[in-house]
Amino acid sequence: MKRYIAPFLLLLPALTLLLVFKVLPIIYAFRLSFYDWGIAGEKGFLGLGNYISLFKDPFFWQALINTFYYAIFTVPLNLIFSLTIAILLNRGIKAIGLYRTIYFLPVVTSIVAVSVVWKWLYDPNRGLFNFFLTSLGFSPLKWLEEPRGIFEMITGLRLPYILKGPSLALFSISLMSVWKSLGYNIIIFLAGLKNIPQVYYEAAKIDGASPFYSFRNVTLPLLSPTTFYVTIMTTIISFQVFAPIWTMTGPPPGGPLGTTSVIVYYLYQKGFEEYQVGYGSAIAFVFFLIILAITIFQKTYLEKKVYYEV
Amino acid sequence: MKSKISAGRIIIYVLITLGAIFMLLPFLWMISTSFKTQPEAIRIPPTWIPLHPTLNAYAEVWQKVPFPRYIYVSIITTVFTLLGVLITSILAAYAFSWFEFKGRETLFVSILSLMMIPIPVYVVPLFILVQRLGWIDTFYALIVPWSVNVFSIFLLRQHFRSVPRDLYDAAVIDGCSRFRFLFTILMPLTKPAIVTISIFSIIGSWNAFMWPLMVTNADRMRPIQVGLAYFAQGETTNYPALMAASTIAILPLVILFFVAQRQIVESYARSGLKE
């Protein structure tokens, strides 16, 4: 018995905190999602009632579509840019430390401050981006105040919500997020690229392979474990976007016309601001199931394409 | 042949330099605007270097809004969360790596699985719990729930395990207790990992937004990010003041980043590698 005392005491602080502030709230969230719990407090068991209301709630569907649009644009853009820059930086660049520092800088800065600065850049009347656009002879854009979907703007057609694409407002937030988190993925890709043995490139060169051929048949397969990791992480993080919505959009946040309301923002609005605790918890659980499903999907389908070196 | 190679290299330098300029542009514009007067800030065409640089915006932010107080709240929160994370993870990682007990691996895997559950899933019940504890508008709410971090326990355990057993045997022969072994041998040997978890904790606390937004109603208990967000909501067009406030909010971490740049970048690089 005595040999259990030391590890028990060592684990006590961590386990107590995890139990009280993580495990209990998780179990509680699951339980609450089956209860009618609003401003007046708990009013009884509802069964699947909250989930059924959620299914019929057009604002929930809008938030869900917006979140998927946000992720579908943010993740690939982030991957393409970060991989390209990492490959360029990996080619024996002088002062690579300086470049790495510059690209990484936004990662450590606060998302709130960055959002405030980008809102100013996107300002429709006085913002720098519109100044660039008009100087180049383009017409100015409404950026964060533009509810029209980007496909709608490009094609000029009137499309149903699901085909409109993200509103320009949501897409503007996507662009900012790519800028903000690019540096992290560049660092991870650089570490992955360093692990590829130089001999493969030399062998490919001797065989007369073009740089594109080497990239396609050496870099991409050997880098695939890193790419896989980066894809999963970037997707999970982009599903949790919240601060830029609160800081940059509206008033009220989520605007214009609800086109930037994402699932975590909707959860915050229902569960916290409106104190619909039961309903909010149902949103939280659907959110968790979506993240879980995406992770499992990526693990089963994408991981097949991952080449792990033996 | 040679000239062709250098032409390719020039293109690479041009591309990455253009990219770097774009990365810096928002920061430069932020700093530039923060030293301007309001009429100059909204002037078209804009000026990159303020014609009449002034510190008025900073003075305004410092005096009109309780920014010194916000910074104080953020510093206290960051320091005590860091202490909490260090204590809980060092002790737990030590138990998981250097002690044998029944169910050790099962317990460790269960704790790891908690990492899969994102904060928004349980943030509302956590809020209710903290509210019932009477912790709204206190430092407890800002610090205690985040004083434990599963990833930190995981990272430290991996590093503690890599220390050779012989060192322990030798230390015991010299009469070293298990506690002295942790503090005088294990921790100094795994300093890079301890630095890594400290960096993540500091950056995480300083930049936290959603949780402090929920648990602080009183202006005097707002950390800097929440204070800045409310300030930005109120002063939508006072651009010099907004940019001065943003500069103040990011400055401490930017200074930390330039001081400990290599450790920070390496910490993030390490976090992505499977060990």
Yes or no, beta carbons of B268 and A243 under 8 Å apart: no
- Report angle CA A186, B249, B35 to the nearest 5 degrees: 105
Question: Any chain B CB within 8 A of the CB of A143?
Answer: no
**Does residue B260 form part of some domain?**
no
A116 interaction partners in chain B (CB closer than 8 Å) = 228-229, 232, 242-243, 245-246
- Full domain range(s) for residue B138: 65-234
In CATH terms, is domain A51-305 a member of 1.10.260.40?
A: no
Written as one letter, the residue type at B146 is W
pLDDT at B273: 53
Q: Is the ipTM beyond the 0.90 threshold?
A: yes
Quick: pLDDT tens for B201-245.
Answer: 999 999 999 999 999 999 999 999 999 999 999 888 899 999 999
| Domain extent listing, chain A | 51-305
- Among the partner-chain residues A118, A233, A236, the one whose CB lies closest to the CB of B26 is A118
Question: A38 pairs with which residues across the strands?
Answer: A41
User: Would you say B264 and B204 are in contact if contact means Cβ atoms under 8 Å apart?
Assistant: no
Yes or no, beta carbons of B145 and A17 under 8 Å apart: yes
pLDDT at A201: 86
pLDDT at B5: 62
pLDDT at B267: 85
Mean pLDDT, chain B, as a whole number? 92
- Report angle CA A289, B126, A23 to the nearest 5 degrees: 65
The tokens for A177 are 């997020």
**Does residue B176 form part of some domain?**
yes
What's the sign of the alpha-carbon dihedral A101, A249, A290, B206?
A: positive
The tokens for B77 are 């929160």
Q: How far apart are the first and last CA of chain A?
A: 44
Q: What percent of chain B clears pLDDT 90, i.e. is strictly above it?
A: 74
**Which conformational region is residue A250 in: left (phi greater than 0), alpha (psi within -120 to 50 degrees), or beta?**
left
| Neighbouring C-beta atoms of residue B170, cutoff 10 Å | 12
More confident residue, B246 or B3: B246
Collapsing DSSP to helix, strand or coil, A42 comes out as: strand
CA distance A132 to chain B (A): 10
- Among the partner-chain residues B9, B29, B121, the one whose CB lies closest to the CB of A128 is B29
Chain B from 49 to 78: CB within 8 A of any A CB: none
Cis peptide leading into B45, omega within 30 of 0?
yes
Yes or no, beta carbons of A188 and B268 under 8 Å apart: yes
Q: Residue B3 pLDDT > 80, yes or no?
A: no
A101 interaction partners in chain B (CB closer than 8 Å) = 257-258, 261, 265
Q: Which residue of A has its CA nearest to B95?
A: A7
The tokens for B196 are 């890594």
pLDDT at B274: 46
Q: Residue B106 pLDDT > 90, yes or no?
A: yes
Distance between CA atoms of A99 and A149, rounded to whole angstroms? 35
pLDDT at B198: 95
CATH of the domain at B135: 1.10.3720.10
Count of domains observed in chain B: 1
User: Would you say B30 and A118 are in contact if contact means Cβ atoms under 8 Å apart?
Assistant: no
Question: Any chain B CB within 8 A of the CB of A102?
Answer: yes
More confident residue, B261 or B156: B156
If residue A45 lies in a helix (H) or strand (E), which one and from where to where?
strand A41-45
pLDDT at B1: 44
pLDDT at B251: 94
- Report angle CA A241, A172, A67 to the nearest 5 degrees: 35
**Does residue B257 form part of some domain?**
no
Quick: pLDDT tens for B108-164.
Answer: 999 999 998 999 999 999 999 999 999 999 999 999 999 999 999 999 999 999 898
pLDDT at B275: 38
The band of B45, judged by pLDDT with boundaries at 50, 70 and 90, is: confident
Counting Cα atoms < 13 Å in the Cβ hemisphere of A33 gives: 21
Residue spans of chain A under pLDDT 50: 310
**Which conformational region is residue A47 in: left (phi greater than 0), alpha (psi within -120 to 50 degrees), or beta?**
left
- Among the partner-chain residues A25, A229, A243, the one whose CB lies closest to the CB of B272 is A229
Cβ contacts from A onto B, under 8 A: 259
Counting Cα atoms < 13 Å in the Cβ hemisphere of B189 gives: 16
pLDDT at A204: 87
Q: How far is CA B14 from CA A47, A79, A86, in A?
A: 61, 21, 15
Helix B239-259 / helix B56-64 crossing angle, nearest 10 deg: 90
Quick: pLDDT tens for B7-29.
Answer: 888 999 999 999 999 999 999 99
Yes or no, beta carbons of A15 and B116 under 8 Å apart: no
B23 interaction partners in chain A (CB closer than 8 Å) = 102-103, 105-106, 179, 182-183
Distance between CA atoms of A180 and A167, rounded to whole angstroms? 20
